[in-house]
Amino acid sequence: MNNRIQDLPSSERPREKLAQLGPTALDNAELMALFISTGTKGRSAIAIGRDLIQKYGSMAALGGLPVTELAREKGLGLAKASKLAAAFELGARVAREQINQVVLDEPALIHRFFGPQLAHLPHEQVMVAVVDTRLRHIGTTTVSVGTVNQTNAHPREILRPVITREAYGFILIHNHPSGDPSPSHSDQVVTERLVKAADLMQVRFFDHIIIGKPTPGRLPYFSFREAGLMDCPVSS
């Protein structure tokens, strides 16, 4: 087995393969190898990529790692981890651009767009999706990144991107790393406070969606509005 990419046949080297066949011809480990660039003694950049995917289970989980944690992985270091983090972020931004002008009027649709980004993260992350009067998505901001089971999102931080964009309203979205989207007591308290704060600032708080993981017999998300826990109706 070859441990160096340069020892592989030209048709199997990620860079040459991409040039000949396009990026879709490369698997995830090969794509990662282009950013990792060089391997270590006995391990190629492709092998490092495959080991990382196997360890964390998915590209989404890898993309959610802080760069400092990624840098501690054998064969990476800060420079390579920074390149990978930049690649993951570019992909996330492209995905977010694709949902601009999409009408976010159904919890299942919101989960469809944001679930892949959040479901496999090892920590809680809070995002605010701002919308216009027709509930069309006009932007998303990450307002808090927490530990395994908590964030420090304050209503002021959550409302800031809504006010800055002069948006009509917003949807709060966050994940539960445990995979269970059932709302905690603190989730309910934050939602109640946000309903009052949004009313004070004269913006519409349409829903609070908690992202979990698929489980038989349970939806992979929880919607406060669907559960009847929001005070303001969607329609004016």
The fold of the 5-95 domain, in CATH, is DNA polymerase; domain 1 (1.10.150)
Is the pLDDT assigned to residue 234 strictly greater than 60? no
Q: Domain-by-domain residue ranges, the chain?
A: 5-95, 101-223
- Distance CA(147)–CA(132), nearest Å, equals 32
Tens digit of pLDDT for each residue in 95-119? 766 666 688 889 999 998 888 888 8
Tens digit of pLDDT for each residue in 201-220? 999 999 999 999 888 888 99
CATH number of 101-223: 3.40.140.10
Residues 67/81, Cβ–Cβ less than 8 Å: yes
User: What dihedral angle (degrees, nearest 10) is formed by the CA atoms of 63, 67, 70, 75?
Assistant: 120
pLDDT band at 159 (very low <50, low <70, confident <90, very high): very high
Tens digit of pLDDT for each residue in 56-70? 877 877 887 888 888
CA nearest 117: which of 40, 59, 160? 59
